[in-house]
Structure formats: C-alpha cells, structure tokens
Chains A and B, each alone.
Chain A
Amino acid sequence: MSVDLIAYGAFFLTMALTYAIICLGLNVQWGQTGMFNVGVAAFVAIGAYASALLTTPDAAERIGGFGLPIMVGWAGAALAAGLVAWLVGALTIRLRSDYLAIATFGVAVTVQLCVLNLQSITGGAFGIGFIPRPFSGLAAKPLEFGLANVALMIAVVAGLYFALEHLAKSPWGRVLRAIREDEVAAQALGKRAVRFRLQAFVIGGAIMGLAGAAQGHFIGFIAPDNYMPVLTFQVWAMLIVGGSGNNRGAILGAVLVWGIWALSAAAVSALVPPEQQARAASLQIVLIGVGLCMILLLRPRGILGEVSVLSRLRPKLKKLPSKE
C-alpha cells in the first residue's frame, strides 16, 4: 500500500515538475520580459513531437523513428521549439505587444492542425507510441522506476532554476527587466530592446520544448489531445498563482495548480456519474478560469511575487507623497 502511495506520489511529482519546466520557460518570456505567449501548448507540442521523432524506433507507417538516444531527443526538442519561437518572435516582437499574443495564438491553432493532419510525420490523431522512457530498465519495479524519474526531473528543474536565476541576475537579465519597466529609457541607454526580447522569447520557447520532450518521454506516448488550448491555460494559471517574475514561484505554482487540478479531476471521476463527467470537467475549467481572473484582480503578484529592487521600491515611492 505505502509503496503504491510513494509510486503515485513520484508519478504526481514528476508530472508536476514537467509543468514546472514549462512554467520556468514562460517566466522568462512573461515574468522577466512581459511578452504574452498564448501558444504555450504549441511550443510544448513541437518539443514533444521533435523528440519523439528522433528517439522512437523506426516505424513503417510514418517518416522517421530514428532511434537516437533520449538526450539527443531532448536537445532536438529544445532546438526545434526555439527555432519556431525565433521565427514568431522575429515577425512580431517589433510590432504592438498584443500582436505577439495573436500570432502565438495562431501558432497554437496551426501546430494543432499540423499535428493532426501531417500523418506521415506525427501519426495523426493516434499520436506516437513507444517513445523510449528514461530508466526503462527499471520498469518492472514501479517504485524504483518512479523514484529514478522523479530524481531526474528534480535535477532538470534544479539545473534550469540555477541557470535562470543566474541569467536573471546577470547584466542580461537586468536589461530585460529594464526594457519591461521602461522601454524608452532602456533604449536611451543604448540597449536594443527588440534583440533582447527576441533572445528571451527564444530561450523561453526552447525551455517549453524541452518540457514537452521530458513529458513525452516520461509518459511514453503523445497524441494531439495532450496539447489543447487548456494546457496553455493551465500553465498560465500556474505562473500567475505562483508569482510571475519569480522562478521559485513558477515551480511552486506548477506543483500547487497541478495538485489542485489532479485532485479535482479525481473528485470528479469519483463523485460524478459517468454520463455527467464531461460536464463536470467543463465546470472544473470554468472555476480555474474564474480563479485566474480573480488573482489578476485581487493579487496580481501571485503567492511569491517578484523579488526585485525596482518592483519593491516602486509602490512605496508612489505611496510616499500621499502619506506625508
């Protein structure tokens, strides 16, 4: 019993941590640079499919299955998603801020369509199976398998966390925040806003692709249904709840929101009669949608919020004259 529980806990945490990776990627784009990406699901899907294509054994019914090692798949996933992010960013970042949002929404729709229709590459609606799983040698022992996978994910998240924290504190990160707070001032100091934004967008997109690959390899199977718009929405909820601009907040939000999501899904399937489950699931989405709007209204900083000198000083500076 307790072994089952630990194995389930490991499974849950591994999934939550894959979301944490997506969240960290989104935090580079939104939290630190203020770019609104509505196509998170698309970048995750690109990563998942790219990695699956590279690592699965040769398949007769579709192109590819190159049987490469998992690490190559991960790198390919980050590269592919980063490349698409670069294309989208190069097209829209110099325009109005919401054109990027609209363009990424278009990317989401188009990637969904490609995944469904390019059957010779993606397997169409049936998806791709037999994706090699890390530590598959341990698959017979669920506990060891689960713990090994969770350890791998913790290592990836920790590595990304330290790398991103380092980046955020570096001059590069400071320029990004400066651009977000006041683009004209940053440009006056000779920083090329478009180029810095594009770099951040590409890094964020590549991290999302990596997360997609990690998720695909952990589950061993991918299908278009995994990359519906609701995924984008979940990740946004995670980042906003945890606190945008804060990498620890991104990780905390991912675990928390994924926990709420998994618990409420379990409650729905346990308590609601089967014929009403689709309805109850849509109510679940309504509640999270309302929740996101409530947080934007009531506590825009999220749980942890951004810890930066600028943001910490600004509200105080605004309040000071009125108090005196």
Chain B
Amino acid sequence: MNPQFVMDGLIAGAMIGLGAIGVTLTYSILRFANFAHGEFLSWGAYIALAISGALGFAWTALKVPVGPFSFGWSLPIAAVIAILLSGLLALAVDAVLFGRLRARGGAVIILVMASFGASLALRSLLEFIFTSKPAYYTKALQIAVPLGGGLRATPDQLLSLGVAAVTVVTIHLIMTRTGIGRAMRAVSENPALAGLVGVDVRRVIRAVWFMGAALACVAGMMTGLLVQIRPYLGHDLLLPLFAAAILGGIGSVPGAMLAGLIVGLSEAAAVQLIGAEWRAAISFVILVAVLLVRPRGLFGRAA
C-alpha cells in the first residue's frame, strides 16, 4: 500500500474533524442532529469564493500568489469575512426557523425535520445562484513536495493542516479556559440548571451557532481550496461529519477531531484497498460499527 494514503487521509480527516466539531457542539448544546450543517460548509466556501473573486477583480495585485501557495492575498482576506458572514448566516437561520420552533417547545425531531428542509433549501439556493458547475479559488497548479517517508504534499495542503491544528487548539482552549466555554458546557449538561445559576442560555446558543458555522466555513474553504467548490460539497460530507461526531462522542471537541482523522484515514485506506467508488460508504460502516459496539462513542458520556 502506498504510504501517500496517510497524507490524503490526514487532510480529508482534518476537514471532516473541523466540520464534526460544529455538529457535535450543536448536538450536545441545542440537542438535535442538524442536517443543515453540511450546508454551512458549502455556503462558507461559496461566500469566500464570491468575496475573493470580487477582491481580485478590484485589485489585481491581490491575485498574485503568496509565497509557495496557489492563491493571492484576496483569499485569506475573503476567508476572514466569510467566517464572520457564515456565523451570521447560522444566526439568521436560527432566528427565522430553529429559534421559533424551540420557543414553541415541540419535540426534538421537529427540529431535525426543519433542519432537513432548511438543508435542501439552502443547497438548492446555492445551486440557483452559482449553478452546479464546479468552481475553484485559483486556476494555479501546484507541485507536491516530497516530505520523506514516501509522503508528498502541496504547500496548500500543509497550510490547511496547520490552520486546522491551530483552529482545533483554539476551540479547545475556548471550551476549557474561558467563561463562554464553561457556560457552553454547563448548558450542555443541563440547560435549566445552567439558567438558574445565571448563565445566559440564549447567548450560549448564539455562540454555539456562530462557532459551529465559523468552523464549517473553515472546513468548507479548505475543501474548496484542495478539491473543488460545488453546491453538494457539504451534503457529501454530511455523513462523514455525523459518523465522526458520533464516533468521537457527542459533545467532545477533541473526540470529534480525532474521530474526523480516523474517518478520513479509513476513507483514504479504503480508496487504496477497495476502490474510490466505495469511499462514501466507509462513514456508514464506521457509523454502524460505533452504534453496534459503543453507541456513546470514544469520549462520550453514557446517555
């Protein structure tokens, strides 16, 4: 087996892990499986594409590639704006849809169903605006550099891995060391009790949506940069995201990241061993295995 699969798996796993952190946070704090989460990845990627394209159109200097990378300064600038806008998009969806349903106090499964409808609407809206034709941040080609041990990676891929690592550590520190992180964990344990001791539950919910969508945006932009941008980008990653969130244990940020890497590596290994056409089934196999053997996941609490 070609050792290169380790590199491919790590990169795919980093993207899945970042997305899965968002899924696991919304799942543990808002208490429902958000089927629209994949769409935050796609929207993040497309928002960055639109802004980066506009910036490059206005100032051609921003299109000149930075150092060894394939993109110019327009993409990092667009990335920051896109992260903010993705967060706002999630807050808007919550205000229009999920917040109202929550306020009515219906069954959890109604929220799941609403997220299912929202996912289809959001995805098809992207398809309407940008058409289903694949898009790219840059047209530049990159040569993969040898890293030793038979591994190769492009500068873009290495940068993405680095960004993913920094992002995960940041989120972990926010969750464990800051006031809002403590509040989030409190709400995840028991919303009513958290409210009683003075935690502003609505603020926590807003923070969760914003953080989840921001991470989704980062993952979406990484996928867009390293693979391509399509309206189905997020939808195709949704099953791996769920598999990783459940394998990691609902509510565990390090668990989601680790499980994301496991899913990514298994997918890459399966591409080599079985064939690329079965890649999408790997997450399902992992999901079934986890539900059979250890439904609470690696780091989850017993239900």
- Which residues of A come within 8 Å of B, CB atoms? 34, 36, 38, 91-92, 95-99, 101-103, 105-107, 109-110, 113-114, 116-117, 229-230, 233, 236, 240, 278-279, 282-283, 285-286, 288-290, 292-293, 296-297, 300
Residue pairs across A and B with Cβ atoms less than 8 A apart, 12 shown, are A91-B288, A97-B109, A106-B239, A106-B242, A106-B243, A107-B284, A282-B124, A285-B120, A286-B120, A286-B125, A293-B117, A293-B121
Contacts of A103 in B (CB 8 A): 287-288, 291
The CA-CA distance from A279 to B131 in the complex, in Å, is: 6
Contacts A110-B284, A113-B280; A286 near B124 (Cβ below 8 A): yes
B277, closest chain A residue (CB) = A117
- Tell which of B8-16, B99-107, B148-156, B159-167 binds the partner: B99-107
* Minimal beta-carbon separation of A87 from chain B (angstroms): 9
A293, closest chain B residue (CB) = B117
* Minimal beta-carbon separation of A310 from chain B (angstroms): 14
The CA-CA distance from A36 to B281 in the complex, in Å, is: 21
Contacts of B32 in A (CB 8 A): 98
* Minimal beta-carbon separation of A184 from chain B (angstroms): 15
The CA-CA distance from A101 to B114 in the complex, in Å, is: 13
Contact check, B112 vs A117: say whether CB atoms are below 8 A apart.
Answer: no
B113 touches A (CB below 8 Å): yes
Contacts of A98 in B (CB 8 A): 32-33, 108-109, 112
Q: Which one of B124, B292, B295 lies within 8 Å of A289 (CB-CB)?
A: B124
Contact check, A292 vs B132: say whether CB atoms are below 8 A apart.
Answer: no
Contacts of A292 in B (CB 8 A): 113, 117, 120
* Minimal beta-carbon separation of B123 from chain A (angstroms): 8
Contact check, A290 vs B121: say whether CB atoms are below 8 A apart.
Answer: yes
Contact check, B116 vs A233: say whether CB atoms are below 8 A apart.
Answer: yes
The CA-CA distance from A95 to B296 in the complex, in Å, is: 10
Contacts of B143 in A (CB 8 A): none
The CA-CA distance from A240 to B113 in the complex, in Å, is: 10
Contact code string B109-138 (vs A, CB < 8 Å = 1, else 0): 110111011111110110110011000000
Contacts of A34 in B (CB 8 A): 107, 109
Contact check, A95 vs B303: say whether CB atoms are below 8 A apart.
Answer: yes
B216 touches A (CB below 8 Å): no
Contacts of A286 in B (CB 8 A): 120-121, 124-125, 128
Contacts of B295 in A (CB 8 A): 95, 99
Contact check, B280 vs A283: say whether CB atoms are below 8 A apart.
Answer: no
The CA-CA distance from A94 to B118 in the complex, in Å, is: 27
Contacts of B128 in A (CB 8 A): 279, 282-283, 286
Q: Which one of A116, A278, A297 lies within 8 Å of B101 (CB-CB)?
A: A297
Q: Which 9 A-B pairs have the closest CB atoms?
A: A289-B121, A292-B117, A282-B127, A285-B124, A98-B33, A106-B284, A289-B120, A282-B124, A286-B124
Contacts of A233 in B (CB 8 A): 116-117, 120
* Minimal beta-carbon separation of A231 from chain B (angstroms): 12
Contacts of B292 in A (CB 8 A): 91
Contact code string B248-280 (vs A, CB < 8 Å = 1, else 0): 000000000000000000000000000001101
* Minimal beta-carbon separation of A110 from chain B (angstroms): 5
A287, closest chain B residue (CB) = B121
Contact check, A296 vs B110: say whether CB atoms are below 8 A apart.
Answer: yes
A107, closest chain B residue (CB) = B284
* Minimal beta-carbon separation of B190 from chain A (angstroms): 17
Contact check, A97 vs B108: say whether CB atoms are below 8 A apart.
Answer: yes
A102, closest chain B residue (CB) = B242
Most chain A CB within a 10 A radius of its CB, from B122, B243, B280: B280
Contacts of A110 in B (CB 8 A): 280-281, 284
Q: Which one of B106, B131, B243, B291 lies within 8 Å of A300 (CB-CB)?
A: B106
Contacts of A236 in B (CB 8 A): 113, 116-117
Interface residues of B in 6-51 (CB under 8 A from A): 32-33, 35
* Minimal beta-carbon separation of B46 from chain A (angstroms): 14
The CA-CA distance from A286 to B118 in the complex, in Å, is: 9
Contacts of B233 in A (CB 8 A): none
The CA-CA distance from A195 to B286 in the complex, in Å, is: 25
Contact check, B280 vs A95: say whether CB atoms are below 8 A apart.
Answer: no
Contact check, B120 vs A36: say whether CB atoms are below 8 A apart.
Answer: no
B97 touches A (CB below 8 Å): yes
Contact check, A279 vs B283: say whether CB atoms are below 8 A apart.
Answer: no
Q: Which one of B113, B124, B132 lies within 8 Å of A36 (CB-CB)?
A: B113
The CA-CA distance from A114 to B284 in the complex, in Å, is: 12
Contact check, B124 vs A91: say whether CB atoms are below 8 A apart.
Answer: no
Contacts of B280 in A (CB 8 A): 109-110, 113
Contacts of A117 in B (CB 8 A): 277-278
Contact check, A293 vs B118: say whether CB atoms are below 8 A apart.
Answer: yes
The CA-CA distance from A95 to B121 in the complex, in Å, is: 29
Contacts of B122 in A (CB 8 A): 289
The CA-CA distance from A287 to B169 in the complex, in Å, is: 40
Contact check, B110 vs A300: say whether CB atoms are below 8 A apart.
Answer: yes
* Minimal beta-carbon separation of B188 from chain A (angstroms): 15
Contacts of B110 in A (CB 8 A): 296, 300
Q: Which one of A101, A105, A283, A296 lies within 8 Å of B124 (CB-CB)?
A: A283
A240-B113, A292-B117 given; name 15 further pairs at CB < 8 Å.
A95-B295, A95-B303, A98-B32, A102-B33, A103-B288, A106-B288, A279-B128, A282-B128, A283-B128, A285-B120, A286-B124, A286-B125, A293-B114, A293-B117, A296-B117
Contacts of B242 in A (CB 8 A): 102, 105-106
* Minimal beta-carbon separation of B159 from chain A (angstroms): 30
* Minimal beta-carbon separation of B112 from chain A (angstroms): 5
* Minimal beta-carbon separation of A95 from chain B (angstroms): 5
